[in-house]
Amino acid sequence: MQAKRRSMLYVPGSDPKKCLKALMFNSDSVIFDLEDAVAPDQKEFARQTVCELLKAPRETGKELVVRVNQVSDSVGMEDLKAILPCKPDTVILPKASAREVTIADTFVTIFREDREIGLIPLIETMHGLVTLREILNSSDKITGVQFGAEDLTKEMGIRRTAQGKELSYARSELTFIARSFGVDAIDTPYVDYRDVEGFEQDLAYIRSIGMTAKTAIHPSQIEKINQAFTFSERDIAEAKEIVEAFEKAVQQGLGVISINGKMVDAPVAKRAADVLASAGLNEVKGF
């Protein structure tokens, strides 16, 4: 058993063929985009296309997400009115603020009927980042927070690089706050899908700071994202060794032990138990 979200594939809502094809890939989520990827004169067609796909029989376990336009604007309002009755699993709110989330929350409450619909604020402005706690407190329907690098770097007047050093603070701040609220921390797409080495380095970095998922703009990115957010056999074996050894230590009245020259105490053992639980194995109790 893996986390619900690891990979989230963006696809233009105005392209029926790409939308259908996106459902066949191994991403945990498909994001039907009604915002940046859709020209103004194609908005209504995109709504109709996405709504028909949402009404069709669904593959179990795949999250169907819609990114709408800003809901404080008339275009975003029309998106919500058209899409919510078709029951997406989740709605992404661009240039999110507490006001945007409150508006969307109200609409979801009206339209959700017997199906829960989650919200993901897309943090892509300076104001969004510095008010993220307020945003997360504005709705109990939020299941994740997504980082948007392109608009943020544009607003700050800085150049986005492949190494992403200019994004370090924003990514870390977003991740820390999102995780403290118990929701997913979802990273911005890596835009050069041909740069495999850079993409792998990017994945390793965001995993190291605690992000839980990443958006993709090309199907070729999906498998590497899934791998990055999946514990390896080695990870699981090491976690099992730690948990079993620490459980025995607890039974003997010990609070700290050494495994392969490394200190293991309760927090380390708990982290190892969480790895096993995430991998679908039973968590050993006792610490």
Residue 240: band (very low, low, confident or very high) from pLDDT cuts 50, 70, 90: confident
pLDDT, mean of residues 167-173: 97
List helix spans (H) across 56-119: 74-83, 98-111
pTM of the prediction?
A: 0.89
Mind listing the pLDDT tens digit for each residue in 77-99? 999 999 999 999 999 999 999 99
68 or 116, which is more confident:
68
Residue 2: band (very low, low, confident or very high) from pLDDT cuts 50, 70, 90: very low
Spell out the domains of the chain, with CATH numbers in brackets. 7-229 (3.20.20.60), 233-279 (no CATH)
Q: Which residues are annotated as a binding site?
A: 67, 124, 151
What amino acid is encoded at 148 in this protein? G
Q: Which residues are annotated as a binding site for Mg(2+)?
A: 124, 151
Question: Of the candidates 279, 284, 278, which has an alpha carbon nearest to the alpha carbon of residue 266?
Answer: 284
Q: Distance between CA atoms of 177 and 128, rounded to whole angstroms?
A: 12
pLDDT on residue 281: 73
Q: What is the DSSP letter of 142?
A: B
Q: Distance between CA atoms of 275 and 62, rounded to whole angstroms?
A: 22
Q: Which residues are annotated as a binding site for substrate?
A: 67, 124
pLDDT on residue 243: 82
Residue 186: band (very low, low, confident or very high) from pLDDT cuts 50, 70, 90: very high
Residue 287: band (very low, low, confident or very high) from pLDDT cuts 50, 70, 90: low
Looking at the DSSP assignment, which residues form a beta bridge with residue 67?
Answer: 33, 92
